[in-house]
Structure 1
Amino acid sequence: MKFNKPIQLLAISAASLLAASFLSACSTLTVDFVYVTSAKAAGPNNYGEVNVFEINSESGRMRQIVTSPFPSGGRNPVAEAVSPDEADLYVVNRDDNSIVQFAIGSDGKLYPQNTVNTPGIFPLAVSVAGNFLYVLDTYQPLPTCNPASPCSGSIGVFPILSTAQAAALTPPQPADTLGTPVVNTSISASYWPLLLSGAAASDVFVPTAITVASSGSVYAAGYDSTTNLGYVFGFTTGSDGTLTAIPGFPVAIGTRPSAIASDATGSYLYITDSTQNVIYGFQINGGALTALTGSPFATGAQPGAIVLDATGKYAMVANTQDSNISVYSVSAGNLSRLGTYTTGTQPVAIGIDPSLNQYVYTANFLGNNVSGFQLNATDGSLLNSQFSPSTASANPTAVAAVTHGGTKK
């Protein structure tokens, strides 16, 4: 059958409207963008990559956007964080001692802005709170330390510049640019060393994780390389970003702390131990820590990451060796295990969507993929998201997420 031209135009217009409606609906159904760093990438520079997934608000399906993945701007990206306004992503590249700032487009795309070097050597974790970024370095800076003659780790603090502060730089820079690292006046250097009081000179504190509680205290966990005993350091934060050690720290804890997280209210702190296969739980009292009555709480084998949902009702732990997630209910800080759910192989990072507090995802290092789940707010059970797991670049290492439709550049 052959249409005449007016009918053809009408049919084309209708099809165009339908397509536009479909695209608009797909855009509306994207609730969050999830950013997954991967340690390896093809090509001569061996740079890492950042895979960008959109989460469907109805099915939880994680699907890479069409231009994903993006270069991480360095080698071996191992950590990432989002600026407070959700307009920028900071990617930590371990082998380059660098943090790369990416502007986040309204479509989830990444646009590289600036690169800064961390104060120490081999950064491994990062946390953002207020207008500051806190980075955990494996070693203090040269010439104090080097990989051939290692010493204990350190914390560096970067101010996150406002629009006006960044515009005042020469040349002007975009908002959320990382400023000059904050100076530790006690040692006239831009870092805070993590030193074990009374330890032998050969003892090296190996940091593993950092978090900033909403109450403002900074906690860094790790272990003594000689004794294999775990510790956690605690600091209060000044309005200028400076850190002040809390009396009584470092606190001995387990043997191999591996991950750390606090609840949204800043009332409780949780530290996983990958050797003892437990979670240590504490109540935070003015920065000091008091062990919870039921602590420690059992996990699966080699817990490597932990996250709490925004309501504080549930905690979720990625068990690296078991390739699964343990879900816990939270009552007065204490944890009760509800169930265990299979992920891809060797999950090393876990997150929960910031928009609906409903979708959980893990970066699976040996599986080269990302697992997605829907969290049941009533009973804490997890349901596999549609088409989970989703393929990622080789050896994914970290996850971060922003709300679709949030403040973007």
Structure 2
Amino acid sequence: MTSLPLQAETPATSSQFAYVGTYNPNGEGVYLFKVDGQSGALTRAGIASSQANPAQLTAGQDGKTLYVASEIANYKDGKHGSVAAYAVNRTDGALSKLNEQDSQGATPAFVTLSAQGKHLFAANYGGGSVAVFPLGADGSLQPASSVQQSSGAPGAPKPEAAVVGSFAASDHNGPHAHMIASDPSGRFVFSTDLGLDRIYQWRFDQASGRLSPNTPAFIQASSAGAGPRHFVFHPNGKYVYVINEESSTLTLYHFDQTKGTLEEQESVSTLPKNYQGTNFASGLILSPDGRFAYVANRLRNSIAQFAIGAEGRLTWIDDTWTRGDYPRSIVIGPQGRFMYALNQRSDNITQFAIDKESGRLEFIDRYTGLGSPSQMVFLP
């Protein structure tokens, strides 16, 4: 598939489609929105899919397909979740279901495409497994080509790097795969396991769609009980940033592009210097130019902002109140001018202007009410 640039052929005055996944029962499915190219305002266009608990989603690289994970554990009366493929009507954004597959584990918490766009990766939080699904010519999901199950001793019950007064200790009771994604080359894949405090390192055979352990097969989290959650690659491909949910820290790793392995460099708190109490770090995103990193904090209900300097090092800038409760994720719009916070417990999406020079955020007094929003993707 050919990757289409997000900003090309998208005039600032035109509108674009976005999809938002939600949690039942407040959210009723996958919602379709129109995005104003000038103001970034969201206008609800309807429910595009009523798939159960469709909290996780990702768009095909050519914008013709949307993939949605049902974060459930009873697909077809079994104990797993599911992933579904939808064809996208480029004219009105309507979705037509192509097919659905067993996610190969309970409650899939993350889905994304391989670098070449020919496979879908899924991380099953409840089951502690990761799976790879080849894509058909029409974008449909083929049966899993590789399934890897985590196992081992649970991580520390309390995060040692958390701030004073934190009781952010959850799910260190066994494997809980939280995210899986490939490096930009597509030759290597990483997956996080919050329950085991591990980051797994895989080799990926793009022909067969199979994962095999790299050497070493995994590295430990940056601190005991940290709970590694999500990660992103820097645009230069040399740095990887990981947010740790339980410790509320952001860790920089240098990526060996030949070996496909990570080397830890530094960890910084995602919370202001004087903050004390419980917080769970959730969303993570970099600015398109790679100059800034942003982290969503749940309970603190803020978005932390960092400048990225030499060798990928992080410098605290500020944090901004989300104007909502329990931000599940954050996303930057296709023009790179606006950020959106998906506030799960307050049932709304809030919008911020991004200062491209300083990286700071400014709330622009725009709320979009929506039941339990989880994730938003813009159609390429």
What is the DSSP-based 3-state SS (H/G/I as helix, E as strand, rest coil) of the residue aligned with 1:157?
strand
1:38 and 2:22 correspond: yes
Aligned to 1:243: 211
| Residues 249 and 197 of structure 1, relative CA distance in 2, 3 Å threshold | farther
1:160 and 2:135 correspond: yes
Aligned to 1:180: 143
| Residues 362 and 289 of structure 1, relative CA distance in 2, 3 Å threshold | same
**1:253-264 matches, cutoff 5 A:** 253=221, 254=223, 255=225, 256-264=227-235
Aligned to 1:319: 297
2 CA distance for matches of 1:198 and 1:76? 27
Aligned to 1:358: 337
Structure with the higher fraction of residues in helix conformation: 1
What is the DSSP-based 3-state SS (H/G/I as helix, E as strand, rest coil) of the residue aligned with 2:24?
coil
Quote the offset at 1:258 in angstroms: 2.5
Contact 1:194 1:233 in 2 (8 A): no
1 CA distance for matches of 2:245 and 2:87? 35
2 CA distance for matches of 1:367 and 1:191? 36
Greater mean deviation of Cα atoms: 283-292 or 31-40: 31-40
Quote the offset at 1:31 in angstroms: 4.6
Quote the offset at 1:33 in angstroms: 2.4
| Residues 341 and 203 of structure 1, relative CA distance in 2, 3 Å threshold | closer
Query: Deviations along 1:78-118, whole A, 9 cap, x unmatched?
Result: 21111121211111002131112222222333333322221
2 CA distance for matches of 1:205 and 1:397? 22
> Unaligned regions of 5+ residues in structure 2, if any?
1-10, 76-80, 156-171, 272-278
Query: Deviations along 1:90-149, whole A, 9 cap, x unmatched?
Result: 110021311122222223333333222212232121121221100112355xxxxxxxxx
**1:157-306 matches, cutoff 5 A:** 157-162=132-137, 175-182=138-145, 190-196=146-152, 204-216=174-186, 217-224=188-195, 230-240=197-207, 241-253=209-221, 254=223, 255=225, 256-285=227-256, 286-292=259-265, 295-300=266-271, 301-306=279-284
2 CA distance for matches of 1:381 and 1:193? 40
Quote the offset at 1:399 in angstroms: 1.9
Aligned to 1:307: 285
Counterpart residue type for residue 341 of structure 1: T
2 CA distance for matches of 1:30 and 1:180? 38
> Unaligned regions of 5+ residues in structure 1, if any?
1-26, 141-152, 163-174, 183-189, 404-409
| Residues 322 and 328 of structure 1, relative CA distance in 2, 3 Å threshold | same
Aligned to 1:407: none
TM-score, length-normalised on structure 1? 0.74
Aligned to 1:391: 369
Aligned to 2:85: 101
Contact 2:235 2:288 in 1 (8 A): yes
Identity %: 20
Counterpart residue type for residue 133 of structure 1: L
What is the DSSP-based 3-state SS (H/G/I as helix, E as strand, rest coil) of the residue aligned with 1:29?
coil
Counterpart residue type for residue 50 of structure 1: V
2 CA distance for matches of 1:360 and 1:28? 16
Query: Deviations along 1:225-254, whole A, 9 cap, x unmatched?
Result: xxxx61110112112221121111321113
2 CA distance for matches of 1:33 and 1:375? 21
Query: Deviations along 1:140-184, whole A, 9 cap, x unmatched?
Result: 5xxxxxxxxxxxx1111011222xxxxxxxxxxxx11112211xx
Counterpart residue type for residue 326 of structure 1: A
